[in-house]
Structure 1
Amino acid sequence: MANIIAVVWDFDKTLVNGYMQDPIFKYYGEDSKNFWNEVNSLPEKYESQGVKVNKDTIYLNQFIKYAKEGKFKGLNNDKLREFGKELDFYKGIPEIFQKTKEKIEGNTKYKLYGIEVEHYIVSTGMKQIIEGSNIRKFIQQVWACELIEDVDPENPEEKIISEIGYTIDNTSKTRALFEINKGVGILEDIDVNMKIAKEFRRVQFENMIYIADGPSDIPAFSVVKKNGGSTFAIYPKGKEKEFKQVEQMRKDGRIDMFAEADYSEGTTAYMWIMNKIEEYADRIYKSERDKISPGGTPKHIID
C-alpha cells in the first residue's frame, strides 16, 4: 500500500469561476444562458417521447448538435484543448497544488515513509478542456466526459465532435473514487471490479479529501465520508443562495467544512486544505512508526 494522500476535485464552480464551456460560447458568440436553457428543456422533451435521459450529461448532445449544424463550426478535441487555456480559475489556483505537494514532500519525516500528495479531477465536464488547461501538469488523473470526432461534412480536411465516447455523471463519480482507491490506471492490470483487500489498495479512503461546490456532489461526498475521508465545499463570494446550499450540507453532515472560493494563501479554504493534508500525513507517519516500535522505546523498570 502506498502512503498517498489524494485530494479529489470537482471542476466547474469548484476550480473555475463558472463553467469550463464559457470560452466556447465567447469564441462562437453564442448566448450561454440560451444554450443552457435549451439543455435544461431536453429531459422533458425526450422523456415525452418515452426516452429516459441522463440530466447530467445530456448537454453533450447539444454541443454535438451545434457542431453539426455549424453554430460551433469546426469544434473538435483540438479546439477544446485550446479553450482549456482560457479558463478563469479562482484565486490561488494552480498555486495551491504545488504548495500542498511541497508541504509534504519537503518534510524529511514524511519522506522517510514515502508519504505523498496527489491531486485528481472528477468532473461531468469535458475532459479535453481540462487536458488543455494550465493545471493539468499538477493532476495525477482526470475523469470527465470524452467526445469522438468525425470528418466535418462541410470541410472534409477538418474534424468535428460527432459522438459521445465516455460519460461520467454525478452518481458515477463514485465509481471514479473507487478507481482512485484501487489505483486503476496507475497500477498494472487493476480493474475497479477486482477484489482487493483494503490494506493493499493504493489510496485509502481515510486519506482522501473530496472538494466540490454543491448538492449535485452529494453521492461523492457520501462515499468519501462513509469510508473515513474528509469533505469540503466551495461557494462563490457574495452568493447567498450558494452559501445557504453548502451550509445546509454542513448541517446535514454531508461536508466537514466550507469556504468562499478563494484558495490564496491565508484564506479559509487554503488553511483548511493544508491543515487537513498535514493531519493526514501526521497520522500516516505515526502509524508507520508504530509498526517499527509499537510499544514505544523500552525503558528500565524501577521497583
Structure 2
Amino acid sequence: MDIDSPSPQRTALIYDFDGTLAHGNLQERSFIPDIGMERTEFWDEVKQQTREHDADEVLVYMHMMLRKAASLKKPITKEALRKHGEDAPLFPGLADGSWFDRINTFGQERNLCIEHYIVSSGISEMIDGCKIREKFKKIYASKFIYINEEASWPGVGINYTTKTQYLFRINKGIENNWDNISINSFKPENERPIPFDRMIFFGDGDTDIPTMKMLTYKGGNSIAVYDPSRGDNDLSKIHRLISDGRVEFVAPADYSENSQLDIITRGILGRIARSCGYRPNEKQHL
C-alpha cells in the first residue's frame, strides 16, 4: 500500500518588475512623454526635489506624477495607469506566459506548489495592466489613493528598504499592505506558510540589494538579472553585487526555456524539493 503523498510545499518566486521582468521603468514608456517631459528631465527633477525636501524618492516621484498630470488637466485614473502598462516591454519568455507554466509544472513534479509574487517600487496599477498580471498570486507595489475615481495621493510607497517587509508578509501569509499587527506579531517558524528557505528573489538594481541580502541571510536564494542590451552599465552593477556578497546567482534577463536563468532557477527548485524530502524516481511503500 502506497503512503499518501505529502501536501505540496508552498514555494515563492518573488520578482521586482522594472528592469527585472520588463525593460526600463513603465513610467518611461508613455506616462512621462504624455506629460511633456523627457525621461532624464523627469528623474532629475525627482532627485532634486528629494534632496530639497529631504524626502523619500518613491513618494516624490509619485507626487510629481500627480502634480504634472494635474497641471495639464489630465487626471490620473486606475484605467489610465493600466493602459500605460499594457505594452510593457517584457523580457524573452514572459509575454506568452511560458516561463510561469514551465516553472509551475517543474515544481509540481517535485511536490512544490509554486506561487509568483511581485515586490516593486513601480506603480501597482500599471503592473495590473501588463499581459502577465494573472500569473501572480499577489502584487505588492506602490499605489495611489483614489477619490471619485481619480488618484489623489500616494497610498503605498515601496522603497529599497521597505521592500524587505514584504518578504515577511509572504512568509507569514499576509496578503495586504495595512496589517501591521500581524506583521509585527510573533509567529513560530513552523506555522509560517512559506519559509524563507523556500523563496527565490529576482532583482536587477540597487533598490533590490537590502532584499537580496536579507533573504540570503535567512537561507533563501537571490538571483540578480541584467539586461544584456544595456552593456557595461548593467554589468558593472552586477559585478558590485557579486563582489559585495549580495547575491548567489547572476544571469541575463532571459526567461526562455533552457536559458541560463531557467537552468539556475530549476536547479534551486530541485535543491528546495530535495530539502523537503523529494527523491527522483523513488517510490515509498509501507
- C-alpha distance after superposition, 1:245-284 (max 9, x if no partner): 1122112211001111211112211211122112212221
Distance (Å, rounded) in 2 between the aligned partners of 1:122 and 1:5? 16
Deviation at 1:2, TM superposition (A): 6.9
SS of equivalent to 1:223: helix
Q: Is the contact between residue 172 and residue 193 of structure 2 (CA under 8 Å) also seen in structure 1?
A: yes
Report sequence identity in percent.
27
2:58–2:157 CA contact under 8 A, matched in 1: no
Q: Distance in 2 between matches of 1:44 and 1:18?
A: 23
| Distance in 2 (alpha carbons) for counterparts of 1:249 and 1:146 | 28
> Which of 191, 203, 206 is the equivalent residue of 1:212?
203
Which deviations, in whole Å up to 9, do the C-alpha atoms of 1:78-131 show, x marking residues without a partner? 1111222111111111321121101122x2xx34xxx21111100011111111
| TM-score when normalising by structure 1 | 0.82
Which of these residues, 243, 263, 272, is aligned with residue 271 of structure 1?
Answer: 263
Counterpart in the other structure of 1:101:
104
After TM superposition, what 4+ stretches of structure 1 lie above 4 angstroms from structure 2?
A: 26-29
Q: Unaligned 5+ residue runs, structure 1? A: 47-51, 152-158, 288-292, 299-303
Deviations 1:10-38 (A, max 9, x none): 11101110101123234455422211121
The count of aligned residue pairs is 269
1:34 and 2:41 correspond: yes
TM-score (norm 2): 0.87
Distance 2:107 2:253 in 1: 23
Q: Secondary structure in 2 aligned to 1:57?
A: helix
Q: Residue 118 of structure 2 aligns to a residue in which SS?
A: strand
Measured in 2, the distance between the counterparts of 1:248 and 1:125 equals 23
Query: What letter matches 2:49 in structure 1?
Result: L
The answer to whether the aligner puts 1:202 opposite 2:171 as a matched pair is: no
Q: Which amino acid aligns with 2:171?
A: N
* Residue 256 in structure 1 maps to residue 248 in structure 2: yes
Measured in 1, the distance between the counterparts of 2:172 and 2:264 equals 26
Letter in 1 for 2:93: G
Residues 1:164 and 2:154 are matched in the alignment: yes
Q: In the alignment, which residue of structure 1 is the partner of 2:79?
A: 78
Q: CA deviation at 1:184?
A: 0.7
Q: Which amino acid aligns with 2:68?
A: Y
The residue aligned with 1:280 is 272
Letter in 1 for 2:19: K
Where structure 2 has 5 or more consecutive residues not aligned to the other structure, the ranges are: 1-6
- Structure number with greater Rg is 1
Q: 1:29 to 1:58 in 2, by over 3 A?
A: closer
